[in-house]
Amino acid sequence: MKLGEKLKKLRIENKMTQEDLAKKIGVSRGTVAGYETQDKNPKYKTLKKIASVLNCSIDYLLNNPSTLVEENKNSNFDLQKYITKINERRDLQLLLQEVDKLNSNSVYRIIELLKIIDDEVKNRN
C-alpha cells in the first residue's frame, strides 16, 4: 500500500476530513489531497506530524519494517520476562501461534493496530 493510500485510510479511521488533518499538521487541504492522490510526498518534518496525529509510526507510513527491527534490537528487551508471561497466559500463546503464521509486514501492521487500539482505550479513560 502506498503512502497516500495509508494516509487516507488512517485519516478516515481517525474520523478526520482532509481539512481536519491539514489544520493539525499545518498544511492546506489541497496539500493533504495531493499526498493522498498524487504520489506527492511530505517533507520529513510534516511526515512526523502526520504520524503523530494519526497515531502510527513513520516506518509504518513508509513501509519500512527493517528500521523497527533495528530499534528493537538495540532496546533493553527482557526476553525472559516475556517468556514467563507467555507460559502463564493462554491468550498470549494463541496470539503468538497466529502471528507466527504471518510475514513480517503483516506483523508490523498488527503492532501498529495494537498501538492505535491502546491509544483509543487510554483516551476513553
Which sequence spans correspond to the domains of the chain?
Answer: 1-62, 64-125
Q: Is the CATH code 1.10.8.420 the one for domain 1-62?
A: no
Q: Between 23 and 106, where is the model more confident?
A: 23
The answer to whether residue 70 scores a pLDDT higher than 60 is: no
**CA dihedral angle for residue 14, residue 20, residue 24, residue 29, rounded to 10 degrees:** 120
Summarize pLDDT for 17-59 with one digit per residue, the tens.
999 999 999 999 999 999 999 878 888 889 889 999 998 888 7
The grid coordinates of residue 64 equal 519500512
pTM of the full structure: 0.52
Q: What is the model's pLDDT at position 68?
A: 46
